[in-house]
Each structure stands twice: as C-alpha cells, then as structure tokens.
Amino acid sequence: MTKTPEELRGQVAEARERLGATVEELAAKADVKGRAQHRAAEVRDQMQHTASHAAHLVHDKTPEQVRTAASRAAETGRRRPAPVAVVGGLLVLAAVMVLRGRHSAVAHPGARRR
C-alpha cells in the first residue's frame, strides 16, 4: 500500500513532535542543577509548612497566661537585650550544672559529692 504525500507529511509531523518531546525530557533529566534547585524549593516549602503547623499547635496548646508572659519577656528583651542575655546565660549555666550533677549521680550512685 502506497501512502500519499499528505499521509507521509502527517507521519513526519507526528515523528517530529515525539522527537521534540523526547529531547525536552532528556534535557530536563540532564539539567542536574535545575532539578536540585527544584527539589530544594520543594523541601524548603515543606519545612516552612511543617514549622508553621508546629507553631500553630504550640500556640493553641499554650495557656494564655504563658503566652502573655512570653510576649512581655520578649518585649523586655528587645528593649534591654544585654541584661536579658546575661540572665539567659546564667539560666543556661545553672541548667547545665544541674544536668551534669544528675548525670554524675546516675552514672556513679555510690560516689560521694565534693
């Protein structure tokens, strides 16, 4: 069966379309940087969504009095950052000392404290 020139042109056009699509797919797969950037954007968006969801959960579960006190403390920290930083540092130091003492007592129950 002999094909007409019109049928041949149609087949050539279809083959060109398929070839063009294949080339585009291969180019997309070869674009490692673009794929990495796209994946990084997806991960960033997912993390932002997760963080936002967690923030809402914490806000919803935190009693109003605690939120108010935290808000006041944050405002004080913005107005007077140095004293707040010193107090915060002292609290961290105290927590570390308490935790180290507990760890030592658990690890060496018979040991005497100095």
Find the angle CA(109)-CA(112)-CA(114) to the nearest 5 degrees.
135
pLDDT bracket for residue 35 (50, 70, 90): confident
Q: Six-digit token pair at 58?
A: 């914490």
DSSP labels for 42-106? HHHHHHHHHHHHHHHHHHHHS-HHHHHHHHHHHHHHHH-HHHHHHHHHHHHHHHHHHHHHHHHHH
Query: Would the pLDDT of 104 be above 70?
Result: no
pLDDT bracket for residue 31 (50, 70, 90): confident
pLDDT digits (tens, 9 = 90+) for 48-83: 999 999 999 988 988 899 889 888 888 887 888 888
Query: Would the pLDDT of 113 be above 80?
Result: no
| Domain boundaries along the sequence of the chain | 5-80
pLDDT bracket for residue 109 (50, 70, 90): low
